[in-house]
């Protein structure tokens, strides 16, 4: 397992674990990040990432991306 922001750009990954407080987990779940779901990085800039999840693109800060393990 590795944090999402270390994954290769354009390669599909399966979410294995989501860390953080209950609030953070709920926020990520509301954005479509669920364990077992598929996610891929579209682009990165200064550690922040734009990811494709459930046919949507979502921008995540470096800190949030580190809480998603793939």
Q: Which of 62, 34, 35, 36 is nearest to 48 (CA)?
A: 62
Lookup result for tokens 């990085």: 41
Confidence of residue 47 (pLDDT cuts 50, 70, 90): confident
Superfamily of segment(s) 4-69: Ferrous iron transport protein A (FeoA) (2.30.30.90)
pTM of the model: 0.89
- Two structure tokens written together for 19: 């860390």
Residue 67: Cβ within 10 Å count: 20
What pLDDT does residue 15 have? 96
What pLDDT does residue 58 have? 94
Strands 56-60 and 38-45: unpaired
What pLDDT does residue 60 have? 94
Q: How far apart are CA 25 and CA 41, in angstroms?
A: 19
Percent of the chain with pLDDT over 90: 90
Question: Where along the chain do its domains lie?
Answer: 4-69
């Amino acid at each position: 397992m590795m944090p999402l922001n270390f994954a290769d750009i354009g390669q599909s990954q399966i979410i294995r674990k989501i860390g953080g407080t209950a609030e953070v987990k709920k926020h990520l779940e509301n954005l479509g990040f669920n364990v077992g779901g598929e996610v891929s990085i579209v682009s990165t800039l200064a550690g922040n990432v734009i990811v494709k999840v459930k046919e949507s693109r979502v921008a995540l800060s470096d800190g949030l991306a580190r809480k998603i393990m793939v």
